[in-house]
């Protein structure tokens, strides 16, 4: 099949869609990606790229077509809005010109912003190809949950856009089982909703402690609880800092924070003002390729989310990476993410925004013997392979693309 992926983000930006595209190529399909100028997460255009530089390239067999967009900048609502709208506009205008030929199916990688779906609908009309909309974030609810929109009058037109995009899609794929009610409430028939959770990059495999990353040498020996990923408002770092403060006298418990994001500076300030630098360690940002070795040096992996009804419907993508790495998980979150951790037997959870509960769960994990924690990790790995295995999910996606392509070819013949 010849497939078009519409995603504002793509390599060298680090997103799961990179591996999906590469795996589809390895299965013999032709894959083209319509994306924007890379600038995530720094908000600055990556070195070597520009509005008119490297607008076409091939990466691991994937043909990449880039359109110019406004960089997202840092902490500017207006720049972020311009970033979202510029991709929708430029991809809609330039996509039909630059993405030539016939496509069997169009896949929307539906992270924020949902406006990227506009370009996919334009491509559907021009190239007469069916759409699969892979919903990663719920709009407009996620905008309210993150505080991106506070004006109620803006929610109605966004909701109408979402309904229109869903109606234009032959299949709506959901990354969380809890998304189904949201999608169906927007007028999508149940038979058009398919469950396609995220997987983890193939590099996430169990590694022995002896393979731990050299950066962990700056963290004292003890029980290491590692948070990895985006350090943003949604990830609820205040709960992590508060739990660490409650356990500040437990000098053998070390909180290791790996990543970058809008709340990193705030976190650093809090660690200094609360004098937590002896037990909480900000290691900075690392490439995805180095994460397994960082995980190898952790005793437990931490996932947190703010308390919000919409966030409770999601499975944070780091959960799959944690499960695949066969490490115990400790969480402070509600809903589907907590349910997955409980079902897997891989860890323990406190409610979202509950520092005392999180501190208690960390203490409980530390008290377990190493063998019991290893067994929890094995349960997590087994659950990952059974429910989020890369090849299984790719076969599912491939079958749905083929189903739509065949049905579309039959209708147009």
Distance of CA 403 to the CA centre of its chain: 27
In this structure, the answer to whether residues 352 and 239 fall within a common structural domain is yes
CA distance to 137, 165, 175, 184, 199, per residue, from 116 (Å): 12, 10, 18, 21, 22
Q: Does the residue 313 lie in any domain?
A: yes
Tell me the pLDDT tens digit for each residue of 60-117: 999 999 999 999 987 777 888 899 999 999 999 999 999 999 999 999 999 989 999 9
Beta-carbon count within 10 A of 59 CB: 15
CA distance to 97, 204, 326, 329, per residue, from 344 (Å): 47, 17, 11, 10
Q: What is the pLDDT of residue 413?
A: 61
CA atoms within 13 A on the CB side of 150: 2
Q: Does the residue 41 lie in any domain?
A: yes
DSSP for residue 112: S
In this structure, the answer to whether residues 135 and 218 fall within a common structural domain is no
Q: Over the chain, what is the mean pLDDT? A: 94
Q: Does the residue 204 lie in any domain?
A: no
Mean pLDDT, range 327-356, rounded to an integer: 97
In this structure, the answer to whether residues 192 and 217 fall within a common structural domain is no
Identify the CA nearest to 94 among candidates 56, 130, 141. 56
In this structure, the answer to whether residues 161 and 278 fall within a common structural domain is no
Q: What is the pLDDT of residue 42?
A: 85
In this structure, the answer to whether residues 293 and 327 fall within a common structural domain is yes
Distance CA 302, CA 306 (A): 14
Distance CA 17, CA 258 (A): 22
Q: Residue 330 — very low, low, confident or very high, per pLDDT cuts 50/70/90?
A: very high
In this structure, the answer to whether residues 191 and 269 fall within a common structural domain is no
Return the H-helix or E-strand segment holding 82. helix 77-98
Q: Domain containing 65: what range?
A: 2-199+389-412
Using the predicted structure, report yes or no on whether residue 411 has a pLDDT greater than 90. Answer: no
Distance CA 191, CA 165 (A): 17
Q: Does the residue 227 lie in any domain?
A: yes
What's the token pair of residue 188? 């999508």
Q: What percent of the chain has pLDDT over 70?
A: 98
What's the token pair of residue 379? 């349960």
Using the predicted structure, report yes or no on whether residue 147 has a pLDDT greater than 90. Answer: no
Mark residue 150 as left, alpha or beta (left: phi above 0; alpha: psi -120 to 50; beta: remaining): alpha
Tell me the pLDDT tens digit for each residue of 224-250: 999 999 998 899 999 999 999 999 999
In this structure, the answer to whether residues 182 and 221 fall within a common structural domain is no
In this structure, the answer to whether residues 170 and 224 fall within a common structural domain is no
In this structure, the answer to whether residues 406 and 315 fall within a common structural domain is no
Mean pLDDT, range 35-57, rounded to an integer: 93
Tell me the pLDDT tens digit for each residue of 183-217: 999 999 999 999 999 999 999 999 999 999 999 99
Q: Does the residue 176 lie in any domain?
A: yes
Q: What is the pLDDT of residue 280?
A: 97
Domain count, the chain: 2
Q: What is the pLDDT of residue 198?
A: 95
Q: What is the pLDDT of residue 351?
A: 98
In this structure, the answer to whether residues 237 and 193 fall within a common structural domain is no
In this structure, the answer to whether residues 240 and 250 fall within a common structural domain is yes
CATH number of the domain enclosing 174: 3.40.50.2000
Q: Residue 152 — very low, low, confident or very high, per pLDDT cuts 50/70/90?
A: confident
Tell me the pLDDT tens digit for each residue of 257-311: 999 888 999 999 999 999 999 999 999 999 999 999 999 999 999 999 999 999 9
In this structure, the answer to whether residues 246 and 160 fall within a common structural domain is no
């Amino acid at each position: 099949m010849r497939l078009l992926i519409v995603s504002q983000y793509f390599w060298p930006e680090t997103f799961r869609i990179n591996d999906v595209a590469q795996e589809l190529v390895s299965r013999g399909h032709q894959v083209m990606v319509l994306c924007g100028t890379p600038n995530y997460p720094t908000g600055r255009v990556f070195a070597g790229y520009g509005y008119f530089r490297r607008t076409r390239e091939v990466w691991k067999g994937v043909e990449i077509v880039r359109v110019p967009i406004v960089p997202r900048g840092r902490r500017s609502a207006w720049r972020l809005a311009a970033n979202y709208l510029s991709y929708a506009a430029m991809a809609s205008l330039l996509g039909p010109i630059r993405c030539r030929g016939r496509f069997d199916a169009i896949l929307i990688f539906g992270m924020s912003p949902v406006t990227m779906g506009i370009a996919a609908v334009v491509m559907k009309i021009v190239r007469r190809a069916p759409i699969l909309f892979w919903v990663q974030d719920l709009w407009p609810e996620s905008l309210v949950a993150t505080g991106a929109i506070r004006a109620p009058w803006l929610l109605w037109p966004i909701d109408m856009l979402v309904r229109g995009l869903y109606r234009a899609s032959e299949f709506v794929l959901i990354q969380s089982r809890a998304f189904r009610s949201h999608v169906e409430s927007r007028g999508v028939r149940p038979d058009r909703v398919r469950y396609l959770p995220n997987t983890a990059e193939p590099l996430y495999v169990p590694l022995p402690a002896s393979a731990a990353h050299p950066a962990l040498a700056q963290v004292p020996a003890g029980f290491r609880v590692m948070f990895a990923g985006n350090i943003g408002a949604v990830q609820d770092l205040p709960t992590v800092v508060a739990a660490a403060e409650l356990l500040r006298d437990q000098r053998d418990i070390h909180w290791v924070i790996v990543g970058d994001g809008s709340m990193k500076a705030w976190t650093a300030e809090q660690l200094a003002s609360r004098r937590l630098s002896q037990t909480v360690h900000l290691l900075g940002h690392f490439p995805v390729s180095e994460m397994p070795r960082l995980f190898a040096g952790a005793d437990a992996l931490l996932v947190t989310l703010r308390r919000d009804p919409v966030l409770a419907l999601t499975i944070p993508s780091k959960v799959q990476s944690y499960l695949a790495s066969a490490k115990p998980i400790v969480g402070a979150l509600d809903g589907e993410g907590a349910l997955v951790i409980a079902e897997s037997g891989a860890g323990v959870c406190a409610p979202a925004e509950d520092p005392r509960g999180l501190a208690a769960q960390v203490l409980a994990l530390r008290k377990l013997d190493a063998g019991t924690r290893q067994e929890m990790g094995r349960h997590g790995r087994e659950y990952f392979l059974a429910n989020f295995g890369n090849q299984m999910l790719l076969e599912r996606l491939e079958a749905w693309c083929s189903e739509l392509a065949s049905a579309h070819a039959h209708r147009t013949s």
